[in-house]
Chains A and B, each alone.
Chain A
Amino acid sequence: MKTTLTTCPWCGTGCNFYLFTDERGQLSGVEPAAGHPVSRGQLCLKGWNAHAFVAHPERLTVPLYRRQGELVPCDWNSALDLLHERLSAIAERHGPDSLMFLASAKASNEENFLLMKLARAGFGTNNIDHCARLCHSSTVFGLAETLGSGAMTNSLDCFEQTDLVLVIGSNTTEQHPLIGSRILQAKQRGADLIVIDSRTIRLARHADLHLRPRNGTDVALLCGIMRQILADGLEDRDFIAARCENFAAFETSLRDCTPERVAAITGEPEEQLVAAARRFARAEKAMIVFAMGITQHSHGVDNVRALSNLALLTGNLGRPGTGINPLRGQNNVQGACDMGALPDVYSGYQKVSDPAVRKKFAAAWGVDLPEQPGLMATHAMEAAAEGRIRGMLIMGENPLLSEANQGLIRQALQKLEFLAVIDIFPTETAQLADLVLPAACYAERDGSYTSTERRVQRGRKAIEPPGEARADWQILRALLGRCGLQADDTGPEQTMMEISTLTPSYAGISYPRLEGAGLQWPCPEAEHPGTPILHVENCSRGKARFSPVTYRPSAEVPDTDYPFLLNTGRTGVHWHTGSMTRRSHLLDREEREPYVEIHPQDAARHQLKERQPLQISSRRGSIEALARITDRVPAGQLFIPFHFVEGAANALTNNALDPESGIPEFKVCAVRLQPC
Chain B
Amino acid sequence: MLKQLAEKDLLRLLERIATRRRLLTPQRQSDGSRLLLPWPGGLPELVGTPLQRKPTEIFFPQLELLMELDNSGDVRLPVPADKPVALLGLDHFDLAAIAFLDRFFLSRPTDDAYLRRRHDALLVGLSGLAGPQGATLPPAETCDLELILVPDKLLARPHAKLGEELLAGFTAADPTALRAIDRSPAERPATLLAAARLLQEDQVPEAFWEEIAARCIACGGCNFACPTCNCFGVQDRTFGNRTERSRLWDSCQLDAFMREAGGHNPLGTETLRTRRRVYHKLVADPLRWGELGCVACGRCDRACPTGIGMLALCEDLVRR
Contact = CB atoms under 8 A, between A and B. Distances in A.
Of listed B30, B52, B217, B302, residue having the most chain A CB within 10 A: B217
A590 B255 contact: yes
Contact of A41 (B52, B220, B239, B256): B52
A48 B221 contact: yes
B217 A48 contact: no
A174 B38 CA distance: 37
B163 to A, nearest CB: 24
A173 B213 CA distance: 13
Given A44-B217, A184-B215, A5 B30 contact: yes
Contacts of B49: 34
Interface in A34-73: 34-36, 41-45, 47-48, 51-52, 55-57
A28 B62 contact: yes
Contacts of B239: 57
B219 A29 contact: no
Contacts of B57: 29
Contact of B61 (A22, A32, A178): A22
A585 B248 contact: yes
Nearest to B250: A586
A177 B38 contact: no
B33 A33 contact: yes
Interface string B72-89: 000000000100000000
Nearest to A37: B31
Interface stretch (B138-146, B186-194, B287-295, B304-312): B304-312
Nearest to B35: A3
B215 A28 contact: no
B224 interface: yes
Contact of A44 (B29, B61, B219, B255): B219
Interface string B259-276: 000010000000000000
A619 interface: no
Nearest to B235: A585
Interface in B24-62: 24, 29-33, 35, 37-38, 49, 52-53, 57, 61-62
Given A57-B239, A589-B256, A205 B33 contact: no
B237 interface: yes
Given A57-B238, A181-B217, A586-B233, A29 B62 contact: yes
A48 B224 contact: yes
A1 interface: yes
B218 A35 contact: no
A16 B33 CA distance: 12
B160 interface: no
A41 B32 CA distance: 11
A31 B53 contact: yes
A57 B302 contact: no
A590 B251 CA distance: 11
Contact of B217 (A5, A24, A180): A180
Contacts of A516: 30-31
Contacts of B235: 585
Contact of B237 (A56, A178, A515): A56
B29 A18 contact: yes
A29 B61 contact: yes
Given A43-B221, A178-B305, A586-B248, A5 B254 contact: no
Contact of A45 (B61, B65, B218, B263): B218
Contact of A3 (B37, B62, B217): B37
Contacts of A632: none
Given A28-B62, A586-B250, A181 B305 contact: yes
A646 interface: no
B106 interface: no
A537 interface: no
The A contact surface, by secondary structure, is mixed
A572 B255 CA distance: 12
Contacts of B233: 585-586, 589
A513 interface: no
Contacts of B251: 45, 586
Interface string B240-252: 0000000011110
Contacts of B63: 22, 27-29, 51-52
Contact of A23 (B81, B248, B255): B81
Nearest to B53: A31
A188 B263 contact: no
Nearest to A3: B35
A572 B32 CA distance: 30
B226 interface: no
Contacts of A202: 214, 217
Contacts of A188: 215, 307
B303 A42 contact: yes
B315 interface: no
Contact of A590 (B53, B248, B256, B302): B256
Contacts of B53: 18, 20, 31
Contacts of B9: none
Contact of A515 (B30, B62, B214): B30
Contact of B33 (A29, A34, A177): A34
A51 B304 CA distance: 20
A611 to B, nearest CB: 5
B13 to A, nearest CB: 22
A184 B237 CA distance: 38
Nearest to A29: B62
A422 interface: no
A206 B61 contact: no
A185 interface: yes
A34 B52 contact: yes
A610 interface: yes
B290 to A, nearest CB: 31
A30 interface: yes
A426 B49 CA distance: 44
A48 B63 CA distance: 12
Contact of A31 (B52, B65, B307): B52
12 contacts: A1-B24, A27-B63, A29-B62, A32-B221, A33-B33, A34-B31, A34-B33, A56-B237, A173-B217, A177-B219, A205-B214, A586-B233
Given A43-B219, A184-B217, A586-B248, 14 more contacts: A1-B24, A5-B31, A18-B35, A20-B53, A22-B63, A34-B31, A43-B303, A57-B239, A181-B306, A184-B215, A202-B214, A515-B30, A585-B235, A586-B251
Q: Which 7 A-B pairs have the closest CB atoms?
A: A29-B62, A181-B305, A35-B31, A35-B32, A34-B33, A585-B235, A42-B305
